[in-house]
Structure 1
Amino acid sequence: MTVASILCVSRQARRAPLVVALHCSGGSARQWRKFAERLDEGCRFVAPDLIGAPGGSSWAGSGTFSLADEAAGTIEMIDNHEGPVHLVGHSYGGGLALHIAAMRPHRLASLGLYEPSAFHLLNGMGSEGRVAFEEISAVAGAIAEGLNNGSYRAAAACFVDYWNGPGTFAAMKPDLQAELVRFLSKASLDFHALIHEPTHVGEYSRFGFPVVILRGEHAPVPTRLIAQELVSRIPAAIGVIIPGAGHMGPMTHADVVADRLVRDILFHAVKGSRAA
């Protein structure tokens, strides 16, 4: 489902609590199924397929790609909504959600993030952050090099295995491997947008709405540091560690992550939520 197809809604729907969930790079709206099941029926739930996802649009290449380009449709949807807005994002979707929150802080009732990939923050986080920045830049560089020299499968394996563990790509079904190879060019754009995002961390520290930042117990160093930094910088933020999970917790530990998102944000912000 694209953002454009979501904008035409009834007046009643525009006044209901709106929950927008943004998926990770290489994923799709399907990753939020467990989360959606836990929301109160009075909520309006939207999980758009982002640019490059199976149900999303394609990047037209009209300029240097940025998070602002990806965010435009979601911001338009938020601007057209009359009720409270709750924003959720994972990985790339989390970095995108931070960008949107900084652009529309007065419109958000809450923000829920799972290991947001706000890589632009790392260089300002001391020596450990700089090492982590070099680590994630190496992954981005390997993908760009693979696109340039034609070693697409090796680049796709680098992308998938970094976030999921060694051997994950090789164990995937051929059709899923082919889908991820096709996604590579957008993955490279995603890394570029996240690394070059201009929003200063001080913008996030001014968030006055409830914020929950989840990370896996086995989070990669870059996203672990980012999650910790955001919790320390945002006065309204709480941090949650998901036991046994890694970066892909919203898929591998979908029930636990969904329960925590609903309980820690929406239970307090949306009347009638079915959070346990």
Structure 2
Amino acid sequence: MASEIQEEKLQSLSSRSDPITEISPVVALHCSGHDSHQWDFLRTLIEPSVPFHAFDLIGTPARGPWKGGFKFGLQDEAVALIAHIARIGEPVHIVGHSYGGALGLHIAGNQPELVLSLCLYEPTSFSLLKTDQVEDGRLLKEIETLASDIQSAVEQGCSEFAASLYTDFWGGVGSWQTLSRARRQALADWIPKVVLDFQALIDEPAQTRNVSVPTTLMLGSQSHPHTQRIVEILTRDLDQAKLTEIPGADHLGPFRFRDCVAGVIWRHLLEHSSTKDRSRASA
């Protein structure tokens, strides 16, 4: 599959004599519990001439822990990222997974001038479940219970147990046991940040009314009903949203189905990029 994506990429960029595609900078945002290396595979598939920025969020080894106490919101996460995009000097395509997808929506809703398009795999904007629908309330309560259980475990000094709760929820029961000792330790070190992430994702209203950019939403066919419902709401509420389902994938699709996900992202970038005259490009 990876070779097919490479071939498609080369054909897309070189098959046209006039005009050619010019892809704007890409900013990739990882999910909770990982870091910018989540997108290393995607980086290898994107044309080298395309500026690619995989950003490390708070809680990663590169950024360190949150030092602002118990109060935390997506705006706190976004400060450094917004400054980074501003330094790029032009609107960017934002690619995001899970928490990174919710952060991308936050930036597009609050700083629309910085965002050219969004390509998001199951953004965990849990506040969207605060509707008058009984089933949405049940789904939200399950997330709130998970967040509360993780917080209690962290406060009792049981970081590994907290990390196992989180891992088995998203990856399936038994996922924690399949991880290497080093990976378990990394998640245990990081898990206090997820308490803050859940707080932000549940408490802060998603600014969907202000998001008016081309948006590709990806959904795994085997994903949790919580994220399936969030993507359904976003597909309905965003005026330029398009839904792509990844057959057989779950919430960890960018890891377990990375070829398919990377292919969707690449096609999104091509579809929502500008063109320029080949003679001007070579001048």
Which TM-score bucket, shorter chain as reference? 0.7 to 0.9
Whether the 8 Å CA contact 2:70–2:196 is kept in 1: the answer is no
Which residue matches 1:255? 259
Alignment of 1:194-209 (within 5 A): 194-204=201-211, 207=212, 209=213
Which residue matches 2:96? 89
2:231 paired residue among 227, 230, 233 = 227
d(CA) in 2 for partners of 1:203 and 1:243?
30
Q: Deviations over 1:17-40 (max 9, x none)?
A: 210000000011111122212222
Amino acid at match of 2:205: P
Whether the 8 Å CA contact 2:23–2:274 is kept in 1: the answer is no
Whether the 8 Å CA contact 1:121–1:201 is kept in 2: the answer is no
Aligned to 1:264, the other structure's residue is in SS state helix
1:243 is displaced (CA, Å) by 0.7
Which residue matches 2:218? 214
1:270 is displaced (CA, Å) by 5.2
Aligned to 1:60, the other structure's residue is in SS state coil
1:210 to 1:201, Cα distance in 2 relative to 1, 3 A: closer
TM-score, normalised by the number of residues in structure 1: 0.87
1:271 is displaced (CA, Å) by 4.8
**In the alignment, does 2:244 pair up with 1:240?**
yes
d(CA) in 1 for partners of 2:28 and 2:274?
15
Alignment of 1:260-271 (within 5 A): 260-269=264-273, 271=275
TM-score, normalised by the number of residues in structure 2: 0.85
1:177 to 1:85, Cα distance in 2 relative to 1, 3 A: same
Alignment of 1:41-120 (within 5 A): 41-62=48-69, 64-120=71-127
Which residue matches 1:10? none
Which deviates more from structure 2 when the two are superposed, residues 181-190 or residues 191-200? 191-200
Specify the structure having the higher radius of gyration (Cα).
2
Q: Deviations over 1:56-107 (max 9, x none)?
A: 2321125611110111111112222223411111001011111111122123
Aligned to 2:116, the other structure's residue is in SS state strand
Aligned to 2:33, the other structure's residue is in SS state coil
Aligned to 1:111, the other structure's residue is in SS state strand
Give the superposed CA RMSD.
1.8
Amino acid at match of 2:72: F
Whether the 8 Å CA contact 2:106–2:207 is kept in 1: the answer is no
Amino acid at match of 2:234: L
Amino acid at match of 1:164: G
Percentage identity across aligned positions? Answer: 36
Q: Deviations over 1:4-23 (max 9, x none)?
A: xxxxxxxxxxx982100000
Aligned to 2:186, the other structure's residue is in SS state helix
Whether the 8 Å CA contact 1:28–1:49 is kept in 2: the answer is yes
Q: Deviations over 1:235-263 (max 9, x none)?
A: 21000110111001011111110110110
Aligned to 2:61, the other structure's residue is in SS state coil
1:265 is displaced (CA, Å) by 3.5
1:63 to 1:16, Cα distance in 2 relative to 1, 3 A: farther
d(CA) in 2 for partners of 1:218 and 1:108?
30
1:26 to 1:271, Cα distance in 2 relative to 1, 3 A: farther
Which residue matches 1:23? 30
Which deviates more from structure 2 when the two are superposed, residues 193-202 or residues 256-265? 193-202
Which residue matches 1:5? none
Whether the 8 Å CA contact 1:16–1:84 is kept in 2: the answer is no
1:200 to 1:82, Cα distance in 2 relative to 1, 3 A: closer
Amino acid at match of 1:218: Q
Amino acid at match of 1:48: F
Q: Name segments (4+ residues, structure 1) moved above 3 Å.
A: 198-201, 265-268
d(CA) in 2 for partners of 1:20 and 1:85?
7
User: May I ask how many residue pairs the two structures share in their alignment?
Assistant: 255
d(CA) in 1 for partners of 2:270 and 2:81?
19
Whether the 8 Å CA contact 1:110–1:269 is kept in 2: the answer is no
d(CA) in 2 for partners of 1:142 and 1:87?
32
